[in-house]
Structure 1
Amino acid sequence: MEQSGTSTLLQGAVQDLASSVVSALRGGDHARAATPGVVDSDAGGIALAAVRVLGSDALLPSVLLGTPPDPDELAVFRKAVESFPPRADAAPTVLWSHWAMARTLRRLDPSSAAGEAEPGADWLDGASWQVLTHQLAVLAPLALPGEECAVTRAAGRRPVDVARGFVRAVRRRDWRQAAGAGRWLTLLDGVPTTLGLEAGLDFVELMGGQDPQVELQVRAARLLRAGAPV
């Protein structure tokens, strides 16, 4: 029962944080990763875990819009990176998510000593288009212009497969996967013009936009299509 309650609290914290990021991307209040001064309490532990779940997108407004991160927000983000190192047997998506957070931390805080070797991405080359799309949606925070890595190169080699995965996710009403795939498609060359990505993103937002994590990815995709400064 206690574990279930903690899981519910974490899910709520992730949604709240995603809502804050969406608000900031829309030009509203600055996103806050956690309330300052609670990072050592139980509530602070949940906040740190929420940052880890959302990954580097927790600081997406600073990355996409070029706004300096709030010092308290940056401190919480740094602590989340330090508090949740991936295990040696962690899944590739966990390794890459942690790597992306460390890269974002170095970008926004050049004095940070957070340095991580880039994981491998060979598993994506042999993945079916369905699995590829699922994995890329999980790693949507890596979809940033000018930020090349092994995952972005793997995605760049298979734009048609990602487009097929986007359509499949929409048909399955998997709005989070569709939104994440749509974010990648905004950056890839060779996406079929018949896909109708703009209309597709509008539909994903209409149907799944009540979920802040869907809205975050759709908002990011639109900023990328508009040429957000990165």
Structure 2
Amino acid sequence: MEQSGTSTLLQGAVQDIASGVVSALRGGDHARAVPPAGTDGEAGELALAAVRVLGSDALLPDLLLRTPTDPAQVALFRKAVEAYPPRADAAPTVRWSHWGMARTLRRVDPSYTAGPPDEPGTGWLDDATWQFLTHQLAVLAPLALPGEDCALGRLAGRRPVDVARGFVRAVRRRDWRQAAGAGRWLTLLSGVPDTVGLEAGLDFVELMGGQDPLVALHVQAARRMRAGALV
């Protein structure tokens, strides 16, 4: 299959899973957010890759809503974790995403004893501009979960005003995915300026970009967390 075709199929698979997650967070009727682990061949590889791209959010309904975890979903999630370990030269965001998936897997699958690995570290963000910080946090929005402590979350907690500035900038630039991811982080942070108008801002992001399942996913996650959902 040509690379462009593969990329298009992968994007579609990621959006399909994200749509299932959004449906679950909204309380809608859905069969499952994650495809069954028994999918074989090219379709199976596509499903694994899609779960890896979505990261921990593939199991977000189980984490936020405390719903019983589907063994088939967990099996596929585990296969994705084990099939795509970070390479030695992987970017920090890839390392953090894998770390977050391993942490999630250990929570939902007691038989998984291989992780999570040590935290990757936050050195690449220590002196980051607020624009770059917001972009990186938005990429790692699946790690924004209530009750979960990690170095990345602590770093974000030390810079709530910068993340708020990044959120406003993303809205103005109509970068709805970045705005939704940043807004999800802001939901968890103390010291966010009231002038940001986060709740109204998230409503606007959903209105303008909510047809994108990845935008809708982060907005729904933020709303669930603002409503007091506990992990």
Letter of the structure 2 residue corresponding to residue 105 of structure 1? L
Q: Distance in 2 between matches of 1:65 and 1:208?
A: 24
Letter in 2 for 1:68: P
Query: Could you report, residue by residue, the CA deviation over 1:110-155 in whole angstroms, capped at 9, with x for unpaired residues?
Result: 2212311111112212100000000000000111111010100000
Within 5 Å, give how 1:5-20 maps onto structure 2. Answer: 5-20=5-20
Q: Residue type of the partner of 1:83?
A: A
Preserved contact between residue 18 and residue 33 of structure 2 (Cα < 8 Å): no
Change (3 A) 1:80 1:36: closer
Partner of 1:174: 175
Q: Which residue of 2 is the match for residue 160 of structure 1? A: 161
TM-score, normalisation: structure 2:
0.97
Runs of 4+ deviating beyond 4 Å:
none
Structure 1 residue 36, shift from structure 2 partner: 4.4
- The 1:66/1:209 distance shift into structure 2, 3 A limit, reads same
- Matched residue type, 2:73: E
Q: Which residue does the alignment assign to 2:86? A: 86
Contact in 2 for aligned 1:31/1:61 (Cα 8 Å) = no
Structure 2 distance, partners of 1:174, 1:214, is 10
Between 23-32 and 138-147, the greater mean CA deviation after superposition: 23-32
Q: Distance in 2 between matches of 1:108 and 1:124?
A: 30
**What is the CA deviation profile of residues 32-67 of structure 1, one whole-angstrom value per residue up to 9, with x for unaligned ones?**
3113421x3100100000000000000000000011
The one-letter code sitting in structure 1 at the alignment partner of 2:88 is A
Counterpart of 1:183 in structure 2 is 184
Rounded to whole Å, the distance in 2 between the matches of 1:144 and 1:35 is: 25
Partner of 1:198: 199
Q: For residue 68 of structure 1, report the CA deviation from its aligned partner.
A: 1.8
Contact 2:146 2:230 in 1 (8 A): no
Which stretches in structure 2 are left out of the alignment for 5+ residues? Answer: none
> What residue in structure 2 maps to residue 142 of structure 1?
143
Stretches of structure 1 lacking an aligned partner (at least 5 in a row)? none
Matches within 5 A, 1:23-172: 23-28=23-28, 29-38=30-39, 40-115=40-115, 116-172=117-173
Q: Which residue of 2 aligns with 1:216?
A: 217
CA distance in structure 2 between the aligned counterparts of 1:208 and 1:99, rounded to whole angstroms: 28
* Mean CA deviation greater in 115-124 or 161-170: 115-124
CA gap of 1:30–1:188, structure 2 versus 1, over 3 A, is farther
TM-superposed CA distance for 1:168, in Å, is 0.4
Q: Cα deviations across residues 169-198 of structure 1 (Å, max 9, x unaligned)?
A: 001000000000000000000000111000
Instruction: Tell me the SS of whatever aligns to 1:134.
Output: helix
Q: d(CA) in 1 for partners of 2:170 and 2:101?
A: 26
Provide closer, same or farther for how the CA distance between residues 4 and 200 of structure 1 changes in structure 2, counting only shifts above 3 A.
Answer: same
CA RMSD, aligned part only? 1.0
| TM-score under structure 1 length normalisation | 0.97
CA distance in 2, matches of 1:112, 1:87: 21
